[in-house]
Amino acid sequence: MPANPTPLPSEPIFCARGLSKVYRTGEVEVHALRGVDLDVYRGEFIVLLGASGSGKSTLLNILGGLDVPTAGQVRFADHDLSAASEAELTRYRREHVGFVFQFYNLIPSLTVRENIALVTDIVPDPMPIDEALALVALTPRRDHFPSQLSGGEQQRVAIARAIVKRPEVLLCDEPTGALDYETGKLVLDVVARINRELGTTAIVITHNAAIAGMADRVIRLGDGRILSVERNERKLTPAELAW
């Protein structure tokens, strides 16, 4: 069933102002972000589009506390991420953020359940592992090793591992980049379901503009700047996407 766009509540979960990032390697400076202003609201599904090198991963990494801006401010709820110490950022990531990357980063010698238990062992209020596995429709594969799973199934384990801590935000950097068309849709369906059923704010980077139909808002980056922000009147399900 297509869902209506989420109404924008007044309090943003992320608030970024004048965000800039300069990477310096020897004499070379790369301006990855050049003054980004962005508000993201609780429960939104955001798709980040843009050419290679436009700054998508840099922005996502700063929102996720994996990197810090060179200038500007970024807040998550009432945490000022731009002024946070390394230890505060580690705690922020651990308690509030679920990450999903293009490559699944599962531990090959551990089963599906054990890979997820690595997280439930260190966070304050995890959901039961079986609940996370049910959300990604992998309950029957709980005792299998990653090598016994397809790429899409491994990515769903990575999503279960990301959400088992009940994060407020799920940040996905090219989650379907290594998957074929149909498998990619299945994985996106899982992300959409988590956004819908758990209310988890989701930000998904993609090269694939067709995915944009699933989002509440679509943000296009170019050369470190926000080029456009579009709001979808009606969100599409992955089954309705064509690419």
Ligand X SMILES: Nc1ncnc2c1ncn2[C@@H]1O[C@H](COP(=O)(O)OP(=O)(O)OP(=O)(O)O)[C@@H](O)[C@H]1O
Residues that bind ligand X (CB under 6 A): 23, 25, 30, 32, 50, 52-58
Output the CA–CA distances (angstroms, integers) from residue 109 to 2, 104, 112, 133, 227, in the order listed: 39, 14, 10, 19, 44
The least CB distance from residue 178 to ligand X, in Å, is: 13
Q: Which is nearer to ligand X, 25 or 147 (by Cβ)?
A: 25
Q: Which is nearer to ligand X, 54 or 82 (by Cβ)?
A: 54
The least CB distance from residue 177 to ligand X, in Å, is: 9
Q: Which is nearer to ligand X, 6 or 58 (by Cβ)?
A: 58
Output b/e per residue, 139-175; b: 16+ Cβ within 10 A.
eebbeebbeebebbbbbbbbbbbbbbbbbbbbbbbbb
The least CB distance from residue 187 to ligand X, in Å, is: 18
The least CB distance from residue 212 to ligand X, in Å, is: 15
DSSP string for residues in 142-184: TT--GGGS-HHHHHHHHHHHHHTT--SEEEEESTTTTS-HHHH
Q: Which is nearer to ligand X, 131 or 223 (by Cβ)?
A: 223
